[in-house]
Amino acid sequence: MLKTVGVSVLFSLHLSACGDGGSSKKGSSQPVPAPVPLNPGSGHIDETQPAAVDLKNHMVFDRHVSETAKAGLTRDFARIERFDLTSGTDNDAVLKAILDVPDLSGGTLSTWLKARVRYMLNPDLSLYRVGLVMSGSRTYQMTQLEGASEEDTRNVAAVMAGTALYSYGKSMRARFPQINYLIVEVNDNWVHINTQRNGVMQLGPALFHPDFMPNASNPESYANTAVRVDTLFHEARHADGNSVSRSLGFMHTLCPRGAGIAPEFVNQLACDDNANGPYTVGARILKAYIQKCGDLCSIGDKTILESFYLDSVSRVVKRSNGQLPNLDATPEKGFDKVDISAFSLIPSQRP
């Protein structure tokens, strides 16, 4: 039975990536595989060359995000921009259809990511000032979001918080017509949560913790980048869909018993019951990265990455009627953005 380090690591990453709190960790006694080059000469990326899409200057790291995460993701973005998945891979037609992109070049994939991800926040949302915009009274009312303890977030890799914040604002607007939507302060600027594509993502400690990396001996390895790319694209997919089609956020479903699902995930919200959700997106991107890895990955790296891939594939499960539909990925229109520059701030009424 395939029950490798990689699978164990992935359980933590992806389960917690969507706010469900994983607990399994890679054992510290695991041997580090010796690096063995594969396909010498392939897979090189010149990270000094200009790229078609500038993710580095698009992404905004909040001051509550660690320097390790900033430096690591900045390096990952440079690789995403330059890693051309159109050759040396299956040039996956299904992935292109799912993402609705013409090709799998680094520029195209970066543009797809850029449309969904921008602001990188701490997993503890209570660190941030949050306001409720009320254009009728030209005010914004401060409010507070629930916090998360270090223990709660220990295994969190990333969370696409923007969609949840948008949904929360939408429900507030439905209950209280004077409310337009939420705003969240990031580095002294207000980010408007008037659409689901507001770009707010939370980064957790697991994203760069050696216990959760396929290659713990070399944090800068491509294998580690590949897993984070899987996570980033998985999370970005949560910014798609709409309420009318009941696909808003591509929310996960409860994992059924059997079907290759590890017992700890049965009845957990850690599966997709559709053919174009986050686990499929992440898995297909990761598969291309594995194929393209070349001598950038050791055999050990590749084995672990393949385990990650197989785990994601196993999380895609048919519905009880045997169907595995494609969901409507069209985003909602959202709400008109309000100019709050002359609005008055009303302090939080909470003690």
Q: Is 257 exposed, middle or buried (0-12, 13-18, 19+ CB in 10 A)?
A: exposed
Distance, in Å, from the CA atom of 302 to the CA atom of 294, rounded to the nearest integer, reads 9
Tell me if 241 contacts Zn ion by CB under 5 A: no
Contact between 278 and Zn ion per CB under 5 A: yes
Of 24 and 218, the one with the shorter C-beta distance to Zn ion is 24
Report CA dihedral (81, 156, 15, 94) to the nearest 10 degrees.
-10
Site for Zn ion in 61-120 (CB under 5 A): none
Stretch that binds Zn ion, among 5-13, 104-112, 222-230, 271-279 (CB under 5 A): 271-279
Shortest Cβ 331–Zn ion spacing (Å): 17
What binding mask, one character per residue, do residues 9-28 give for Zn ion by CB under 5 A, x or -?
A: ---------x----------
**In whole angstroms, how close is the CB of 15 to Zn ion at the nearest point?**
9
Nearest CB to Zn ion, comparing residues 18 and 109: 18
Q: Which stretch binds Zn ion (CB under 5 A): 26-34, 40-48, 69-77, 273-281?
A: 273-281
Whose Cβ is closer to Zn ion: residue 132's or residue 164's?
A: 164
DSSP state of 255: B
What's the burial of 323, exposed, middle or buried (CB within 10 Å: 0-12/13-18/19+)?
exposed
Q: Does 162 bind Zn ion (CB under 5 A)?
A: no
Q: Residue 16: exposed, middle, or buried by beta-carbon count in 10 A (0-12, 13-18, 19+)?
A: buried
- The beta-strand segments (E) located in 53-102 are 60-61
CA 38 vs. chain centroid, Å, equals 29
- To Zn ion, the closest distance from the beta carbon of 132 in angstroms equals 27
Measured from the CB atom, the residue of 18 and 130 that comes closer to Zn ion is: 18
For the chain, the C-alpha Rg in angstroms (whole number) is 20
Pick from 50, 52, 47, 72: nearest CA to 61: 72
Question: Residue count at the site for Zn ion (CB under 5 A)?
Answer: 2
Q: Which of residues 291-320 bind Zn ion (CB under 5 A)?
A: none
Residue 189 DSSP SS3: strand
Residue number with the smallest Cβ distance to Zn ion: 18
Shortest CB 86 distance to Zn ion, Å: 26
Q: Indicate the residue among 232 and 305 with the shorter CB distance to Zn ion.
A: 232
Binding site for Zn ion (CB under 5 A): 18, 278
